[in-house]
Chain A
Amino acid sequence: MTLVLTLKTQPPGRVDMSPLVPERVAGLAVKAITSVMLECGGRRISAGELFSVSGDDCSRMVIEGGSERLDRIGQDMKQGEISVRGDAGAYLGRGMRGGTVTVAGSAGAYCASGMKNGVIRIAGNAGDFLAAALPGEHRGMQGGTVLVQGNAGDRLGDRMRRGVVLVEGRCGDYCASRMGAGTIAVIGPAGSGLGFAMRRGSVILDHPADLPPTFADFGTHDLGFLRLLHGAWRSSLPGSRFAAIGDDAVRVRRFIGDLANGGKGEVLVRA
């Protein structure tokens, strides 16, 4: 039976949920799981103080009744599934290496930072610095797929190195700032400063963006690789707006930059 952690009360402080990932609780009985110690607002408390625990299938974990104070859900996770039936805090899926995390609500800042593989699906919004590098880090997200069905905050994909981030809603300012590689697609409108100091990588937009003047217009083209992207989205992200994009939607206006930075990043705006 699926392992269910039901939040009993609003946590008194921010909780580090990283010990509660499938491979770290694998083989533990319910009692042992309730004894797992979690950092919470500068002190350590047992998981049992926050959650009532039931079930035994640790490969499939449900966090019932989430909270924006539950940080680092799925951090460094390698396999299995975590489903959050509510909100998640910051650093959701940070450094994740495999498996799937789904969030029914919204997620906080730095979601998917340092993520290397796996899939994160967020039904609500994602905070600032989605897929971005932490201050002092050279690389943000390095692989995997993130789907946000709501909106994303500022600095989406800052220093992103690889992977795919898809946002069905809008995104904030400075999307793809300092981006090194990977793919970001946003269906809703994007904020200002998109692509600031971008070096490489692709940003695909449905709406024209307010690009920095250091982006050059490279014209409108049919780009065949979009067929491959759309096909991959269709098979891996059923139910999302990205899965509904037609095969023939390959015509885009291509902007290259940030030329102030010697960058070869591309912003593709659907024509």
Chain B
Amino acid sequence: MVINGVEIENTFAEAFGMRATRVIITAHSLAWAHHAARAMTGFATSVIACGCEAGIERSLEPNESPDGRPGVSVLLFAMSTKELTKQLERRVGQCVLTAPSSAVFAGIEEGEKLPLGKSLRFFGDGHQISKVIGGRRYWRVPVMDGEFIAQETTGMVKAVGGGNFLVLAESQAQALAACEAAIVAMRAVPNVIMPFPGGVVRSGSKVGSKYKALGASTNDAFCPTLRGNPGSQVPEGVEAVLEIVIDGLTAADVATAMHAGIQAAAALGAANGVRRISAGNYGGKLGQFHFKLHEVMGQ
């Protein structure tokens, strides 16, 4: 399959079942909501060592947020309910509770409930106040700039993590340009995040390592400087490979984001040095979800 001179490889991305939740952070201004959201989603690129994968889904207009203030929607993904609960509590407690003027609300109402204000309220040291408004419980915790408002719980759903595609380009600059275009298109897709810095990862990994202590190591098959090695998948003329990883609330959301991203990257075409779109998998044996690139792109 070829789009605009860019080969779409006949392979698939392998993704995994995860647990996810969404929280809405509001604040005095969109800038302060983003400060809180960026802190909360920092160091959340990969479950390998961060505990969760998290990102900003989108900004919310005042008329879209629960308290009529500017807000940000944040998605968190983890491998288990227990880990998601822990990460949510830590990150909201350390990054949102601490952010001036912020408040936090559930972004998903259905599913199993994860504690939000339910555990953070104890910061109030007995001065916290519960309010049930419209059938939902909120906690008012006194803080130095007024009150921190936190909804008692947020909902958790089963989700999909690790959808991905690789962009193979003639130079690092051209690979970056393609990925930047892809990320712009993918950020318009709801229910997904691209958790790596700027949405893009350059250190794709394979399972295992020659060093016993490491569970994952560099994806040498896609390292251009190792092109001469047997098993290298880097074609002649390709000097940079970048990966975009997608976590979504459903497989359909991940597929939609992959389609948008690949379409945008391929739109730059061979003329801009984009040579091939591939995907990362583990032979299909580890992940429950397979996203075949040709199916995702509608062929």
Q: Give the complex CA separation of A236 and B135 in angstroms.
A: 11
- Nearest-CB residue, chain B, relative to A229: B133
A32 CB to closest chain B CB, in angstroms?
35
Q: Apart from A224-B67, A228-B134, what are 17 other A-B pairs with CB-CB below 8 Å?
A: A181-B130, A200-B129, A223-B146, A223-B147, A224-B69, A224-B147, A227-B68, A228-B67, A228-B138, A229-B133, A231-B66, A231-B67, A231-B68, A232-B134, A236-B134, A264-B129, A266-B129
Q: Does A183 contact B (CB under 8 A)?
A: yes
Q: Does B19 contact A (CB under 8 A)?
A: no
Q: Count contacts on A: residues with CB < 8 A to the other chain.
A: 21
Q: Count contacts on B: residues with CB < 8 A to the other chain.
A: 17
Q: Which of A143, A202, A224, A227 is the most central at the interface, judged by chain B CB atoms within 10 Å of its CB?
A: A224
Q: List A residues 222-251 near B (Cβ within 8 Å).
A: 222-225, 227-229, 231-232, 235-236, 247
Q: Which of A143, A221, A222, A225 is the most central at the interface, judged by chain B CB atoms within 10 Å of its CB?
A: A225
- Nearest-CB residue, chain A, relative to B105: A228
* Known A222-B146, A223-B147: A162·B132 in contact at CB below 8 Å: yes
- Nearest-CB residue, chain B, relative to A183: B131
Contacts of B257 in A (CB 8 A): none
Q: Give the complex CA separation of A223 and B101 in angstroms.
A: 11
Q: List A residues 124-178 near B (Cβ within 8 Å).
A: 143, 162
Q: List 21 A-B contacts (CB under 8 A).
A: A162-B132, A183-B131, A223-B146, A224-B69, A224-B147, A224-B149, A225-B140, A225-B147, A225-B149, A227-B68, A227-B69, A228-B67, A228-B131, A228-B134, A228-B138, A228-B149, A229-B131, A229-B133, A231-B67, A231-B134, A264-B127
Q: Give the complex CA separation of A222 and B138 in angstroms.
A: 17
Q: Does B103 contact A (CB under 8 A)?
A: yes
Report A's interface with B, CB cutoff 8 A.
Answer: 143, 162, 181, 183, 200, 202, 221-225, 227-229, 231-232, 235-236, 247, 264, 266
Contact partner, A225, options B68, B69, B127, B131, Cβ 8 Å: B131
Contacts of B69 in A (CB 8 A): 224, 227
0/1 per residue, B129-153, Cβ < 8 Å to A?
1111110001010000011010000
Q: List B residues 54-74 near A (Cβ within 8 Å).
A: 66-69
Q: Give the complex CA separation of A252 and B138 in angstroms.
A: 19
- Nearest-CB residue, chain A, relative to B103: A224
Q: Give the complex CA separation of A92 and B69 in angstroms.
A: 38
Contact partner, A221, options B127, B132, B134, B146, Cβ 8 Å: B146
Contacts of B132 in A (CB 8 A): 143, 162
Contacts of A231 in B (CB 8 A): 66-68, 134
* Known A231-B67, A247-B68: A225·B146 in contact at CB below 8 Å: no
Contact partner, B131, options A202, A222, A236, A264, Cβ 8 Å: A202
